[in-house]
Structure 1
């Protein structure tokens, strides 16, 4: 953790609140920030992840928060880019299952091979709040609840990768 205690801010800040860059260093700080951002979000969530770390993203509380965000507004949008979906489908990852039920507001795509070497992870809510880890396999990163400039930069990259990526067929299932 940084020199100051970020914990209250990570778990209570509002989207658009001037928090500045907060340093996160461990799984619990990541989870607190992610959960708080989703709870405070109103319309959009973008996740760029190599493998949707189960310790962060495959938890019931997190899944419920994503469901609430995706259902909050008729034009809510949850988009997730990841490197490999097959192990997540086999494992029954909660977000994969949720995307099957919320197909009108939630979509997952597999990162195109041209971008597969990207080693960062980021999470953007309402085009303002950002959690960014330059090394996806480490928990160290920054959180900012009001950084539209960084959010715009990362969303530009996200959208570029999104346009070149495909919807995986094994993420969909017909419910009869």
Structure 2
């Protein structure tokens, strides 16, 4: 491992990030872009970089729309910039526990209410455990992944399409089995 200048370590090995749902170990030619994250500020900064890199699709798999990550003004600005600059851009959010997100007047949910045609929210189907980790994916290229949603330890990779496509396939599978969270939107109207 080597230091990447922001206090995080860069992992030079190319294995898949942990035992992710539906993935399995794999290798990738883009391992030099992989960074280890272990604190909330590192996860927040990496998630912001991923969001800013999105050109057409941002997919968020989260327990409760963690306000310390997704409710921060720079992140919300990146979301607005993505969806307002491109008519085809979308943000998809899968929530394991939407009730927790609604308790704190979540700023992301307020933004989602204003941009209903660009931001889709769904509650995770019960077949999929909330323990499946947490991640954010930009297009089919960049991601931040945490093996356990209640911990900050994970990886960030800005250019690993092979691994990202595996996570995106899992996200799409859960997305297709999940129901739209219209109840959450109605609570904010």
Q: By the TM > 0.5 criterion, same fold?
A: yes
1:28 is displaced (CA, Å) by 0.7
Q: Deviations over 1:48-103 (max 9, x none)?
A: 01112221112222112111112221110100001111232232111111111111
Question: Structure 1 length normalisation: TM-score?
Answer: 0.86
Q: Work out whether residues 132 and 148 of structure 2, in 8 Å CA contact, stay in contact via their aligned partners in 1.
A: yes
Residue 16 (structure 2) aligns with: none
Return 5+ residue gaps in structure 2 as ranges.
10-29
The change in CA–CA distance for 1:76 and 1:8 in structure 2 (over 3 A counts) is: farther
Q: Name the counterpart of 1:139.
A: 152
Name the SS of the counterpart of 1:35 in structure 2.
helix
Aligned equivalents of 2:153, 2:68: Cα separation in 1: 15
Deviation at 1:6, TM superposition (A): 4.7
Aligned residue number for residue 69 of structure 1: 82
TM-score (norm 2): 0.80
Question: CA-to-partner distance for each residue in 1:102-143, whole Å, 9 max, x for gaps?
Answer: 111110100011103433111101210011111111111111
For 2:132, what is the secondary structure of its paired residue? coil
- Distance between the aligned counterparts of 2:7 and 2:52, measured in 1? 15
Task: Return the alpha-carbon distance in structure 2 between the equivalents of residues 88 and 122 of structure 1.
Answer: 16
The offset of 1:144, in angstroms, is 0.8
Are the aligned partners of 2:34 and 2:155 in contact in 1 as well (CA < 8 Å)? yes
Alignment of 1:1-176 (within 5 A): 3-7=2-6, 19-173=32-186
Gaps of 5+ in 1: 11-16
Question: How far, CA to CA, are the matches of 2:66 and 2:187 in structure 1?
Answer: 26
Q: Is the 8 A contact 1:9 1:19 kept in 2?
A: no
In structure 2, distance between residues paired with 1:106 and 1:19: 32
Contact 1:89 1:170 in 2 (8 A): no
Q: Aligned-pair RMSD on alpha carbons?
A: 2.4
